[in-house]
Structure 1
Amino acid sequence: MTATILITGASGLIGFRILIDAVTAGHNVHFTARSEAKAALVSSNPAIKKLGLKEGQLTAFVIPDLTVEAAFDAPLKGATHIIHAGSPVPVPTFDPTTQIYEPTIKISYSLLQSALKFPEIKRIGLTSSIVANTGLVPGPQTASAATRIAPPSPIPRSFNSAIEGYVTAKIIEMYNTDELRKTQKPHFSISYVVPGYTFGRNELILNTAMMSTENSSNNFLVMGITGIELPFPIHGVAAHIDDVSATHLRVLFDEVCVGKDYGVATKVDYSMIFDIVSKAFPKAVEAGVFKKGACLRFKPSTIRARQTSYSVGLRALRVRLWMWLRSILRSWARSWHKGMH
């Protein structure tokens, strides 16, 4: 079945991989971008160009402000499915309230309210984060995509950090969506995909400089081999970008998965990351090109990866993720080393 999917966040790591997989599968894609430059970043990317897409298979909609009422009406015309992967990420320099918390809540609300107007919409997949199920400080219990954390009462008007605003937004966004499911009984199914920190190849990265500054959660690994400290510890669970993308498409098109929430994560010991690079490039480590970053602090977390029961199996997921980490760290280190000379 050929569908027309509206994808938000296509200029980000997860959204772009979903877009690539969707058009490769033969679907048509509408994607939103906040500027012409962002739209061009996607549509003119070499990974898109080499696919030789049919005319009309990929359509950009430039919408500077996605929080306003009816912002999604235009890109939803003709769409049958939605994947919302476009929420703000916790960039430390962002204002926690106006650039992270408020847009997260408002964009999700605007999208769902617009979707209610279009009877052609069948299924929606929403990208969340494990922090919505574990909170800022994970407890000892094993969380899953079905775990819910009560929103703070009262809801804060300001936040002390980007990560605090991000976590609060994810918790409240999930709560609001659950309430919409119950009270408005939409004509479409809604599924949450809840990944751990997501790592993997990122075709949006076109040079070495972008590798360490515009590489989404991959930035954490780059920091970990170049001596840069992350301002907050990250949760000790990770996901492979291919599994995250595949799960989004499964909740739209696999009848077994429709309307269900899925976690995509496995435990990772980030303290082992630098060992891979130091063994592969000992001379570069001696020269100071690579050095261990304090960003490798992590919070012990356990989340049940429900989707792996029909995917590759949890043990296979761990092996594949670890093999990928080894290969990609060596690749990045090699590129980084060349860029330094």
Structure 2
Amino acid sequence: MDQKLEIRGKVCVTGASGYLASWLVKRLLLSGYHVIGTVRNPGNEKLAFLWELEGAKQRLELVKADLMEEGSFDDAIMGCDGVFHTASPVSTPTSDPKAEILDPAIKGTLNVLSSCKKSPSLKRVVLTSSSAALRARDDFDSTIPLDESSWSSVELCESLQLWYALSKTLAEKAAWEFAKENKIDLVTVLPSFVIGPCLPFDLCSTAIDVINLLKGDSVTFSWHGRMGYVHIDDVALTHIHVYEDKTATGRYLCCSTVLENIELASLLSNRYPSLPIPKRFKPTPQSRAYYELNTSKVKSLGFNFKSIEEMFDDCIASLKEQGHI
């Protein structure tokens, strides 16, 4: 493994305790990388699950960093070959969307990239964006699948109060502008709704949405409308794939399947008849927008996605094992 580690080198993962980031840390360790993970409090006992990952005791370091603190990521990133910036707020704002969602996403991204600019050893930065940064728009032809050339409408996001989509759109645009000005090799990954096992016991907002659906709540998923789904392991592997592939450039949409709420509910009801999965959903402005997603760009790199059945089977098995359902 030491030889493999020498070849793979050192990388930084921001927000290492997060739902996706922890899977990325897991996959990077299994691939032989030395991982510097940034967290708000390295001594937090809730981070114990990271130390249980294979290879963690030999090749994982957790260091303190704060998205809103300029220069906070300097030490973590210095000496790294690559940076995976995944940290970003996903919760629904309680009172001030700008302070709670937009500022941490945009300023946090620029703070991380500012630290990247200072590291002479850095080869590539992979930023986690979202399909929300390309599908929130009302001027597209629904017969043509959306691809990486699409961007969400800032005006539409603001009018519908789609703060997460707005934060991802503005943060990614700011990242591309900064990267271009400072000659940083940037690649972005745009996952759809991420499904799969959760490594930390404390569930993220996406996992809570899934639990609500499985318990019969039709309200939460009504706001999802038509949605793309992707296995969390595929998202982690896509990040590593575009980091390692020198031909990778620009944005990469990361999605396995796009389904209507009612299609997903029907599939899950047939597969899990004992669960009280709802049969109807209230129409919302988002749920009326039909779209497909074109993932040919990432597939052209040789990447293939797990099925919708596999991602939900793995997710539900994990939730049951942890006692959440």
TM range (shorter): 0.7 to 0.9
Q: 1:53 to 1:16 in 2, by over 3 A?
A: closer
1:227·1:294 contact (CA, 8 Å) conserved in 2?
no
Q: Which residue of 1 aligns with 2:177?
A: 179
2:36·2:63 contact (CA, 8 Å) conserved in 1?
yes
Q: Which residue of 2 aligns with 1:223?
A: 212
State the secondary structure of the residue aligned to 1:261: strand
State the secondary structure of the residue aligned to 2:98: helix
Q: Which residue of 2 aligns with 1:81?
A: 82
2:51·2:57 contact (CA, 8 Å) conserved in 1?
no
Residue identity in the other structure for 2:126? G
Matched, 1:91 2:92: yes
How far has the Cα of 1:68 moved from its partner?
2.0
1:151·1:175 contact (CA, 8 Å) conserved in 2?
no
State the secondary structure of the residue aligned to 2:298: helix
How far has the Cα of 1:83 moved from its partner?
0.3
| Distance in structure 2 (CA, Å) of the matches to 1:324 and 1:198 | 13
| Distance in structure 1 (CA, Å) of the matches to 2:169 and 2:319 | 36
Task: Give the gaps of 5 or more residues in structure 2.
Answer: 1-6
Q: 1:339 to 1:267 in 2, by over 3 A?
A: closer
Higher mean C-alpha displacement, 174-183 vs 242-251: 174-183
Residue identity in the other structure for 1:41? K
State the secondary structure of the residue aligned to 1:307: helix
Matched, 1:143 2:132: no
Q: Which residue of 2 aligns with 1:49?
A: 52
| Distance in structure 1 (CA, Å) of the matches to 2:155 and 2:267 | 41
Residue identity in the other structure for 2:167? A
Residue identity in the other structure for 1:148? W
Q: 1:149 to 1:275 in 2, by over 3 A?
A: closer
Q: Which residue of 1 aligns with 2:195?
A: 199
Q: Which residue of 1 aligns with 2:17?
A: 11
Task: Give the gaps of 5 or more residues in structure 1.
Answer: none
Corresponding pairs, count: 309
| Distance in structure 1 (CA, Å) of the matches to 2:246 and 2:104 | 32
Q: Which residue of 2 aligns with 1:303?
A: 293
State the secondary structure of the residue aligned to 1:26: coil
Q: Which residue of 1 aligns with 2:238?
A: 247
Q: What whole-Å deviation, never above 9, does each CA across 1:174-220 have from its counterpart, x for those lacking one?
A: 22222223333x2x310010011111111213xxxx4xxx2342333
| Distance in structure 1 (CA, Å) of the matches to 2:315 and 2:118 | 46
Q: Which residue of 2 aligns with 1:62?
A: 64
Q: What whole-Å deviation, never above 9, does each CA across 1:286-314 have from its counterpart, x for those lacking one?
A: xxxx342866864533221121233354x
How far has the Cα of 1:109 moved from its partner?
0.7
How far has the Cα of 1:238 moved from its partner?
1.3
The partner residue of 1:189 within 185, 188, 191 is 185
The partner residue of 2:252 within 257, 262, 265 is 262
Using structure 2 for the length normalisation, give the TM-score.
Answer: 0.82
Using structure 1 for the length normalisation, give the TM-score.
Answer: 0.79
How far has the Cα of 1:256 moved from its partner?
2.5
How far has the Cα of 1:86 moved from its partner?
0.4
State the secondary structure of the residue aligned to 1:252: helix
2:79·2:120 contact (CA, 8 Å) conserved in 1?
no
Q: 1:199 to 1:330 in 2, by over 3 A?
A: closer
2:145·2:293 contact (CA, 8 Å) conserved in 1?
yes
1:220·1:295 contact (CA, 8 Å) conserved in 2?
no
